[in-house]
Chain A
Amino acid sequence: MSYRFFVNGDPVEVEVPGMRRLLDVLREDLALTGTKEGCGEGECGACSVLLDGAVVDSCLVPVCQVDGASVRTVEGLGSEQALNDLQAAFLETGGAQCGICTPGMLMAAEAFLATNGPSDDELIREAIAGNLCRCTGYTKIVEAIALAAAQRRAADPH
């Protein structure tokens, strides 16, 4: 079967079995290896991407359900030359160590920031409750998200 959707704004078409996981389509068929596989069963959040703006575990989404949708991956946030504000905040606070959780953390945090809601410590921790990190103890990740939230509010007060 052929499925057409958007990845980071670009139209893509893949000829793959409909039950192939979005994670495998991204990594194997589209060579976008920024999205990581951790547990493969929706526990760890390493494979988090945005599907029509909502954060999902790409290991739990069959590509037949992505037909016509928009996917955003970590490759769509910024580039090595120009990190986006959230990525820069992770660097600044030391919110990454080994790095395997980082793409998923970034996507869960991006979904949270996009709500433009309040961003206290409790809400940030709930927003990344589906993402496991084995290195940082989470505190610096929470600080990074709070920093990015504050910067976005300062840039666009409303």
Chain B
Amino acid sequence: MPIEPPVDSPRSLTDAYALLADMPGRPVAGGTDLLVQITGELGEPPARVLDIWHLDALRGITVEADALVLGALTTYTEIRRSPLVAEFLPVLGEAAATIGAAQIQNRGTIGGNAANASPAGDTLPLLLACDAALVLGSARGERIVAAGAFWPAYRRTALAPDELLLRIRFPLAPDRQVRFRKVGTRRAQAISKVVMALAWRADEGDHAPWRDVRLALGSVAATTIRATDTEAVLEGALPDERTADRAASTLAGELNPIDDVRSSADYRRAVAARVLHRLIRDEGGW
């Protein structure tokens, strides 16, 4: 039988903050990561757990002040079904559909994905590529952390022990395009070998150069990262064949992945470059 650490199930955010300040515990949302950890097969299970599933203040999808805002407890199923996501950030729905299968999508949450801080977290490249902001809260008040500062090191987050992740804000820009690709062993239930999000802005028309390019990748480093050398190649460029070649070779040189049970470093480097090349080709229509 798995370990059964003590757990509190507060019904209000105020109670949750008080419990966390008094006796820090590992928050559990949909449990798709933590319930694997309590089997003890992935290192030390948490000594104490804070069940946040009943905190309805952390649910819901809204659009406010030019941002799509998702409560931390929003599940992948809710993301897939949301008309607001479909209208304002459809790529997030596409990403949610690649995660696990129905059982995982019904329980896994976008906040859990961020707070779990796995380098293979499938939504995390989208948070980076879209310049998302994470809203954290505690009895001390709320603060906002940019996605680029939220994962400082392997499996680390910017959360203090008494803080909860409350919601994630995706700023909306009408002229922004975002693409998402995941490479895994199979279409469902696969932990990614490489996961990638590419965002850029451009004026209308065929010959508008890309600007504000963001290229973020997971499963290729200790944290989800941005490939800034490759971004620089794409900045101000058109999605033509020469750009695709240069961006792909820059990315292959820029990435420094590892060999592990899911893939090899060589494969990850090669497939990331190939996927980026194909993405640019698709956009260029050549």
Interface of A toward B, CB cutoff 8 Å? 17-21, 24, 40-43, 45, 48, 51, 54-57, 59-62, 64-65, 67, 108, 111-112, 126-131
Contact = CB atoms under 8 A, between A and B. Distances in A.
Contact of B39 (A40, A64, A111): A40
Contact of A45 (B54, B77, B101): B101
Interface of B: 1-7, 9, 28, 30-32, 35-36, 38-39, 41, 49, 51, 53-54, 77, 100-104, 106-107, 187-189
Contact of A129 (B1, B3, B101): B101
A61 B77 CA distance: 16
A56 B77 CA distance: 12
B31 A60 contact: yes
A125 B155 CA distance: 34
Contacts, number: 97
The secondary structure that dominates the B interface is: loop
A48 B36 CA distance: 16
A126 B100 CA distance: 11
A129 B189 contact: yes
Contacts of B49: 19, 62
Contacts of A19: 3-7, 38, 49
Given A55-B106, A56-B107, A18 B35 contact: no
Contact of B102 (A59, A64, A130): A130
Contact of B32 (A18, A42, A64, A131): A42
B56 to A, nearest CB: 13
